[in-house]
């Protein structure tokens, strides 16, 4: 039952397990999602947060027997949905980035080449030509 319950997470992550027996007959099962090999995207912190269940061994077995209808199954479904949403957002961001880059490249290609500056007009001389009054504006 455990592996069947975890298949949705296994499609996206590598999983680690920790089992600890408590002093009062309880058991703590901790499932630790990790980045799987070959997965290019790094998982977000919320995606790889460990899942812990503390109960008696019989209660944990009963919970796992519920499959997708149990608390663990529902939590895994929510985690998978979260992972899918994050993947969609990453893809949309990458598409927007690619579109912006293409738009910028097209804009630069469409602009005419920088014109060479025309030779500047000679600067007016500080001295007036013979017979002309001095200007206050020069």
Q: Which residue has the higher pLDDT, 116 or 13?
A: 13
Q: In angstroms, how far is CA 81 from the centroid of its own chain? A: 15
What pLDDT score was predicted for residue 101?
87
**Total-model pTM:** 0.54
Q: What is the arithmetic mean of pLDDT over 13-34? A: 89
The backbone torsions φ and ψ at residue 130, rounded to the nearest 5 degrees and listed phi first, read: -55, 130
Tokens representing 60 are 């944990």
What pLDDT score was predicted for residue 123?
62
C-alpha–C-alpha distance, residues 9 and 15, integer Å: 8
pLDDT at 60 over 90: no
CB 36 within 8 A of CB 13: yes
> Could you give the domains of the chain?
2-100 (3.30.160)
pLDDT at 57 over 70: yes
Q: What is the arithmetic mean of pLDDT over 108-118? A: 64
The whole-chain average pLDDT of the chain stands at 79
Edge-to-edge strands of the sheet including 26-35? 13-21, 26-35, 51-56
C-alpha–C-alpha distance, residues 47 and 75, integer Å: 11
Which residue in 76, 78, 72 sits closest to 59, CA to CA?
A: 72
Put residue 67 in one of left, alpha, beta given phi > 0 → left and psi -120 to 50 → alpha. left
């Amino acid at each position: 039952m455990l592996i069947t319950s975890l298949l949705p997470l296994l499609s996206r992550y590598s999983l680690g397990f920790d089992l600890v027996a408590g002093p009062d007959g309880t058991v703590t099962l901790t499932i630790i999602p990790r980045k799987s090999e070959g997965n290019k995207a790094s998982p977000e912190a919320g995606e790889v947060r460990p899942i812990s269940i503390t109960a008696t061994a019989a209660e944990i077995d009963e919970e796992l027997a519920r499959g997708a209808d149990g608390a663990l199954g529902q939590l895994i479904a929510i985690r998978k949905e979260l992972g899918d949403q994050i993947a969609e957002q990453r893809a949309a961001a990458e598409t927007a980035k690619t579109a912006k880059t293409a738009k910028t490249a097209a804009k630069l290609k469409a602009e005419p080449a920088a014109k060479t500056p025309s030779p500047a007009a000679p600067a007016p001389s500080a001295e007036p030509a013979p017979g002309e009054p001095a200007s206050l504006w020069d």
